[in-house]
Amino acid sequence: MSTQVLDTAHTNVRTLPHGITMPMGARFDATLLSDEAQAFLLKLHQRFEPQRQVLLDARKRRQADYDAGRLPTYLDRNSEAVTGDWKVAPVPADLQCRRVEITGPVNSTKMVINMLSRNDAGDRADCAMLDFEDAMKPSWDNVMAGLENVIGAVRGTLTHIEPAKDGKAAKTYKLDPADMAKVMVRARGLHLDESNLRINNCPISGGLMDLALTAFHTARFQYEKGMTPKFYIPKVEHYLEARWWNELLAAIEYALGLPNSTIRATFLIETLSAAHQVEEILYELRDHACGLNVGRWDKIFSDIKTVKYHPDRILADRATINMSRPWMRDYALRLIYICHTRGAFALGGMAAFTPGKDPETRKQQTDKVFADKQMEASWGHDGCWVSHPYFIGWAMKAFQHKNQLDVIPELPDKYPDLLPQSGGPVTMNGLRTNVRVGIAYIYGWQHDIGCIAWDNLMEDLATLEISRAQVWQWLFHGVTLDDGGEVTGELVSRVFEEELARILDESGEADKEAWQHAMVSARDLFLKEDFPPFLTDRSEIAA
């Protein structure tokens, strides 16, 4: 795993009491990074960073095997994880009802309050997943704001004042501690370095930092109030990675003087290799897992990325890859089957639609969300995700039971074919959609934003990754579009120019220079000769 070196000879560096270094340009908060918190991070980093690097190296070796022609497959069917009589630790009372969970970036105070509160129709989600990962660009200011928001959310004290603007009066947003969704936090993935916090000039793991600092500042408070500290963990690729996370959770509990299994986590099964190891992953997590989640969008990205060199597995337009595809449906049903037989929740994924701005569009979008959630409920999921408060009530109508732990799907084969399959349209419109998402998302990214509402969809890092992976795969294999010619670098570049012109026309050429910069950056990213496994594996160094 490459790391970003901070040249201490030529950069103004702040050295904290425990030998942790930060760029002088990075905000230092003596409360969030107290001496005690620093010592906490230092011990965890020293224990867990060497094994993290081993696991990241193993990822590279597996991908090299896939690039050479191998495919992900199931593991030993006679292992203790598969044949043993085990269940996860009992699900705590405050996690027994998770019908609807809303997600969004943790750094936006206003959005966090709205996620935790009732919408205009009076509907409230059961849980709100405050995201340090796909919905948030991990700039240092965003991370620090996110930590502050988690603390305020857990304590029920979070407030935000929207200043007066364009003739509208100032508005105050605040939580109602007696009537708010349960707080959950998604940490960053195993691969992400936090470049602004270093020990011996080695960046700390972003995910370790997110877990450690949020738990340090909130877990004991929650425990003493009878609340469960609740986390989401993304992008696990192997059961040994699950073991690493489980041991990290146990170490955090021990250091904070909390009983084992106090902290509970839901892990996203959103990679092709993890989909083949659901039971093994859950087995490793059995002391801390309260469920698994079908992370459909990152899973589609992983499908393309994992088999990108395989000419017989070129995926169709991203809009046509949904949960009705056989390998996607079977991955979800298998996850539900295993989770429910092992006493864990099985959460559905995100319908990424936004409400739209006119009544006709809103009805169409609502119908799509409701149909998606009805499908998930009929399969046996215990709950689902929504990306916008407007859809909470509609999702609740689909999930009418507290949970569905007693529902065991019929699974003719516990080991179905989960490998992505070719087939379906490959069109110029699909190429244009991917390009538009690339330009718009990178525009947001360059403005410190990690998710955007675009063309009636909520586009986060996962959907950007799908778009660039799909264009790269089509380009590498010289795919011929159903309604056009071969996908070449020249064609992709032309489409980028054309879609930028459309965007500028739609926006009245507002911020033209910034849009041009975003287009160039997105085009260069999409056309890289060697495919980067992630948009980034590190946060930017604060200036």
Mean pLDDT confidence for 144-173: 94
Q: Is residue 442 part of a domain?
A: yes
CA pair distance 273, 58, nearest whole angstrom: 12
DSSP state of 315: -
Q: H helices within 321-413, ranges in order?
A: 326-341, 359-379, 392-398
Same domain, yes or no, for 303 and 440? Answer: no
Mean pLDDT confidence for 132-159: 98
Same domain, yes or no, for 304 and 444? Answer: no
Q: Is residue 2 part of a domain?
A: no
Q: Is residue 533 part of a domain?
A: no
The domain tally of the chain equals 2
Q: Is residue 33 part of a domain?
A: no
Mean pLDDT confidence for 314-329: 97
Residues marked active site are found at 186, 460
Same domain, yes or no, for 388 and 516? Answer: no
Same domain, yes or no, for 334 and 436? Answer: no
What pLDDT does 76 receive? Answer: 97
| Domain of residue 290, CATH code | 3.20.20.360
Q: Is residue 416 part of a domain?
A: no
Q: Is residue 30 part of a domain?
A: no
What pLDDT does 1 receive? Answer: 34
Same domain, yes or no, for 367 and 433? Answer: no
Same domain, yes or no, for 295 and 184? Answer: yes
| Cα maximum dimension of the chain | 68
Same domain, yes or no, for 454 and 506? Answer: yes
pLDDT in tens, 85-121: 999 999 999 999 999 999 999 999 999 999 999 999 9
Could you list the residue range(s) of the whole structural domain that residue 231 is in?
A: 39-398
| Domain of residue 433, CATH code | 1.20.1220.12
From 377, 398, 419, the end of a domain falls on 398
CA pair distance 127, 280, nearest whole angstrom: 27
Same domain, yes or no, for 300 and 344? Answer: yes
Same domain, yes or no, for 59 and 188? Answer: yes
DSSP state of 531: P
Q: Is residue 146 part of a domain?
A: yes
Mean pLDDT confidence for 157-183: 93
Mean pLDDT confidence for 246-274: 98
Same domain, yes or no, for 136 and 234? Answer: yes
| pLDDT surpassing 80 at residue 28 | yes
| 307: its two tokens | 């088999």
Same domain, yes or no, for 457 and 337? Answer: no
Same domain, yes or no, for 353 and 497? Answer: no
From 398, 415, 439, the end of a domain falls on 398
| pLDDT surpassing 90 at residue 495 | yes
Residue 479 C-alpha from the chain's centroid: 30
Q: How confident is the model at residue 484 (pLDDT cuts 50, 70, 90)?
A: confident
Q: Is residue 86 part of a domain?
A: yes
